[in-house]
C-alpha cells in the first residue's frame, strides 16, 4: 500500500515547462475525477480524454506567461522521487480587476476602466487542485500560503478567491486560513465561473453552481 507523503516531504516551487503533462492530469482529475473503462464506460472515458486535451491546451497558453513581467504565478507542490518531481497539487495566482461596488471580479477586463473608482487590481487565487491521494496533508494550505507570500511581497494588502458553495471542504480550509466570505452569487451570476460535475446516466454533465467570493487581509 502506498502512503501519502507527509507535509515535510513536499516542497512548493514555481511551475516548470516539464510539469505540463502532470498538471493536465491533475487539473482534469480535480474536476472530473478518474475514470475506468469497465466501471464508467466508453462515453465517460471519451469525455475525460477530451477534457484532458482541453486542459492541456489551456495550460500551455497559461504557462507561456510564466517568467514574464505578467503579474501571475503558478505554484506546484512536489514530492521528490527517484524518477523526478511528482506533482501533488497546484495553484494559480493572478492579479485581476475587482469591482468593489459589485463585490466581484471582472475576469473579462484586462485593465481597470479609466475613471472607474469602483475597480481596482487585486490578487486572485484562481484555482487550487490537490491530487486525491495527497489530500488532508496540508498541501492546499501551503499552496495558498505561497500565493499569499508573493502577494504580500508585491505590496498588496489583500488577496481573494472564488469557491463553489458546494465545496464545503475548501470553504472550511479557507476560513481556517483567515478568509471570510465577502459576497455570494447564484449560479451564473457574478461573472459565473463555479462549476461541478455530476454523473447523468452514462455521461458526465458540467453544471454551474453558486459561488462565494472570499477575502483575506495581508500584512
Structural domains in the chain (count): 1
Q: Is residue 1 part of a domain?
A: no
Q: Which residues of 29-64 are buried (b: 16+ CB within 10 A; e: fewer)?
A: bbbbeebeeeebeeebeebbeebbeebbeebeebbe
Q: Is residue 2 part of a domain?
A: no
Which residues constitute the domain of residue 129? Answer: 7-217
Q: What is the pTM of this model?
A: 0.87
Residues β-bridged to residue 207: 196
Q: What is the mean pLDDT of each run of 10 residues along the chain (219 residues)?
A: 56 95 92 68 82 93 82 93 94 94 90 88 92 90 95 95 92 95 92 76 80 94
Q: Is residue 122 part of a domain?
A: yes
CATH number of the domain where residue 16 is located: 3.40.630.30
Q: Is residue 52 part of a domain?
A: yes
Amino acid at each position: 500500500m502506498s502512503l501519502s507523503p507527509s507535509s515535510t516531504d513536499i516542497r512548493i516551487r514555481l511551475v516548470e515547462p516539464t510539469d505540463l503533462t502532470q498538471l493536465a492530469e491533475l487539473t482534469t482529475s480535480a474536476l472530473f475525477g478518474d475514470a475506468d473503462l469497465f466501471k464508467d464506460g466508453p462515453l465517460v472515458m471519451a469525455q475525460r480524454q477530451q477534457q484532458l486535451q482541453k486542459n492541456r491546451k489551456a495550460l500551455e497558453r497559461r504557462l507561456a506567461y510564466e517568467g514574464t513581467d505578467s503579474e501571475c504565478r503558478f505554484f506546484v507542490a512536489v514530492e521528490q522521487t527517484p524518477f523526478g518531481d511528482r506533482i501533488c497539487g497546484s495553484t494559480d495566482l493572478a492579479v485581476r480587476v475587482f469591482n468593489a461596488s459589485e463585490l466581484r471580479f471582472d475576469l473579462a477586463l484586462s485593465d481597470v476602466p479609466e475613471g472607474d473608482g469602483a475597480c481596482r487590481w487585486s490578487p486572485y487565487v484562481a484555482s487550487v487542485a490537490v491530487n486525491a491521494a495527497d489530500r488532508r496533508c496540508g498541501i492546499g494550505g501551503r499552496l495558498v500560503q505561497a500565493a499569499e507570500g508573493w502577494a504580500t511581497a508585491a505590496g498588496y494588502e489583500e488577496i481573494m478567491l472564488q469557491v463553489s458553495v458546494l465545496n464545503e471542504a475548501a470553504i472550511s480550509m479557507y476560513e481556517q486560513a483567515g478568509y471570510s466570505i465577502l459576497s455570494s452569487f447564484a449560479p451564473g451570476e457574478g461573472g459565473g465561473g463555479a462549476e461541478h460535475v455530476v454523473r447523468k446516466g452514462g455521461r458526465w454533465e458540467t453544471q454551474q453552481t453558486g459561488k462565494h467570493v472570499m477575502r483575506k487581509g495581508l500584512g
